[in-house]
Amino acid sequence: MHVLCCGGTGCHASASAQIIENFKRILAEKGLQDEVQVIQTGCFGFCEKGPIVKIMPDNTFYTQVKPEDVEKIVNEHIIKGRKVTDLLYMDPENQEHVSDSKHMGFYRKQLRIALRNCGFVNPENIDECIARGGYEGLGKCLTEMTPQQVIDEVTKSGLRGRGGAGFPTGVKWGLCAKNKCDEMYVICNADEGDPGAFMDRSIMEGDPHSIVEAMAICGYAIGATHGLVYIRAEYPLAIHRLQVAIAQAREYGLLGEDIMGTGFNFDIELRYGAGAFVCGEETALIHSMEGKRGEPTLKPPFPAVSGYMAKPSNVNNVETFANVPIIITKGADWFQTIGSEKSKGTKVFALAGQINNVGLIEVPMGTTLRDIIFEIGGGIKGGRQFKAVQTGGPSGGCLTTKHLDTPIDYDSLVAAGSMMGSGGMVVMDETSCMVAIAKFYLEFTCEESCGKCSPCRVGNKRMLEILEKITDGRGTMEDLQELRNLAAVIKDTALCGLGQTSPNPVLSTLDNFWDEYVEHVVDKKCRAGVCKKLMRYEIDREKCIGCGKCAKNCPAEAISKTNYIAEGHKLPSMEIDPAKCIKCGACMSGCKFNAISVK
């Protein structure tokens, strides 16, 4: 019997380490430590309901487990074989408990390829990975295939870069392999900087060996012996798991010299990022690894010609690599059957925001947004209305109800004015203001712009100033046109991908939520109640009993007594001085009589 407990960052933050410790202690107390194995796995994906504990082999899926629940699970389930019903997932539709994850809406439409091992193996144990087919692909390449055959197989599979732009992976490898050189590099881009995206982190935490294996395969294919992983310093757990995986692979002769006795040498080193979003761009990433400021340079030359230390280098993203070993073992023909016409395979998305089932999901390319948001995601939180979904992070755009039935792949998302990006998917309801969201992304871009080229450095700043003007209630209709003009220039003239795509959040919201912009500009109104300067708190003097709690809560001393006593009340009502009000909402959240509202 096995107890699998999620050790991803989210569950870790909600005491999963304590849960594992309790399991080990209580099982030992009952003398069951040899019968039941407790394993810390990578992310199961269902972060909303974490921490998650899964009991195998009967596949029982416990959600939101607390450290103190462990004793009950051991006594009831493990010893007596009775499921602990109140810890099972409850289907929100029919209020019935579901014990097997296969029958949950969240998992039903998913297909896990890149995440195939996440949540099934102990990522810090290479034997478990090997037992599930790890390193089989590398073995096949080294013993049965020529480097060119490996490249051809990956090309034929139709795998495209999962970092966002969607360049065909096999073609990229082929371009690099042509530049034979004594020193070449395989680089894994693990600088996942999109706010609201955690796909790569989860893969590295849950299945680090797939990355190690894929990098070695790539090394064999292009003729490189050095591998480098550029990873965010903000991901301590992922760093640790990769270090463990690399050390174990070396020990097993799967990295280092003369791998599997075939004469092929390959080793991997880690390099740490230092918090710069632009380093996700491959030329900037390479400069950062060389110990310089992470500023991009013009392409060509492409890294395939002159990359790290001016040597030919191949850069792929984590998720792209995670797909490679299984393509080799199962074959390109198998991979081709999954996905849409021009986008093969699956895509991992980090589903977040105002949605019931926040988590990590993997679906075949061509799945519709509706399936993702309403079937897998379980719909909008609190039964509110769906308003928009943001894909592609600061380079992408906001899609709306009319895009819900678009099958998503690289090309359809671009056609809809967004992009695939690395896989962040943030769902918004009517409490989000789209102008404020556009501003949020632009603030991010301005902060992260490296400053090298002026369209991005200055242009985005000007756009941000206009958006600030609009959310402060000083915008004009001319400003909206100016936003479009600036966006067009920045798209055309910025140096790198970050700059060229930075106006997308503004353009897509202008296209899809024009009315909201106009409301901010003409009516000086923010329908979501987000833009503070456009808000006005008011006390209904008929409802106010004059208790004075709001005045006590007010940090700005903006509330005072009036002379008016409403009928049936004893004390005079209160009023807010709009000139002093800082719109913090402390008065409204403290009022028990619903006398305060936002206009």
Binding stretches for another protein (CB under 8 A): 9-10, 12-14, 47-48, 50, 193-198, 201-202, 233-235, 271-277, 288, 290-294, 350, 352-354, 358-359, 390, 393, 424, 426, 428, 432, 437, 440, 444, 447, 450, 555, 584-585, 589
Give burial (CB, 10 Å; 0-12/13-18/19+) of 363. Answer: buried
Smallest gap, in angstroms, from Cβ of residue 152 to another protein?
Answer: 36
Instruction: Give the shortest CB-118-to-another protein separation in angstroms.
Output: 14
DSSP string, 58-119: TTEEE-S--GGGHHHIIIIIIIT----GGGBEE-TTT--EE-BGGGSHHHHT---STTTTTT
Q: Three-class SS of residue 265?
A: strand
In DSSP terms, 9 is beta-bridged to: none
For the CB of residue 391, give the shortest distance to another protein in the complex, in Å.
11
- For another protein, the closer of residues 188 and 352 by Cβ is 352
Closer to another protein by Cβ: residue 339 or 359 = 359
Cβ partners under 8 Å of residue 578, min gap 6: 536, 537, 558
51, two tokens: 């921490």
CB 440 to another protein: min, Å: 6
Q: Do 578 and 536 touch, CB atoms closer than 8 A?
A: yes
Nearer to another protein, 9 or 40 (CB): 9
CB of 337 to another protein, least distance (A): 32
Q: Which is nearer to another protein, 4 or 427 (CB)?
A: 427
436-440's contacts with Cβ under 8 Å and 24+ in sequence apart are 436/471, 436/526, 436/528, 436/530, 436/531, 437/388, 437/390, 437/398, 437/505, 437/509, 438/467, 438/505, 438/506, 438/509, 438/510, 439/464, 439/467, 439/468, 439/471
Q: Are 140 and 329 in contact (CB under 8 A)?
A: yes
What whole-number distance in Å separates Cα of residue 597 and Cα of residue 85?
42
Lookup: tokens for 442: 């632009």
How far apart CA 28 and CA 361 sit, in angstroms, is 35
Closest approach, Cβ 361 to another protein, in A, equals 12
Taking the CA of residue 335 as centre, how many other CA atoms within 13 Å lie in the half-sphere pointing to its CB? 26
- Report in angstroms how near the CB of residue 121 gets to another protein at its nearest: 20
Q: Give strand ranges (E) for 414-486.
A: 424-429
Instruction: Name the residue nearer to another protein (CB basis): 158 or 164.
Output: 164
Closest to 65 in 3D by CA, of 33, 101, 18, 108: 18
* CA atoms of 509 and 479, how far apart (whole Å): 15
Token look-up 């871009």 returns 445
- Report in angstroms how near the CB of residue 1 gets to another protein at its nearest: 27
Nearer of residues 14 and 306 to another protein, judged by Cβ: 14
Q: What is the DSSP string of 389-400?
A: EEESGGGSEEEE
Of 373 and 437, CB closest to another protein: 437
3-class state of residue 315 by DSSP: strand
The residue among 43 and 363 lying less far from another protein, judged by its C-beta, is 43
With respect to another protein, which residue has the nearer C-beta, 197 or 376? 197
Report in angstroms how near the CB of residue 468 gets to another protein at its nearest.
15
Nearer to another protein, 180 or 293 (CB): 293
Least distance CB 560 / another protein (angstroms): 21
Closest CA to 420 of 488, 346, 518, 486: 346
Between 169 and 509, whose beta carbon lies closer to another protein? 509
In angstroms, how far is CA 353 from the centroid of its own chain?
A: 11
Of 368 and 391, CB closest to another protein: 391
Residues 18, 20, 23, 24, CA torsion sign = negative
The tally of CA atoms less than 13 A away on the side-chain side of residue 398 is: 29
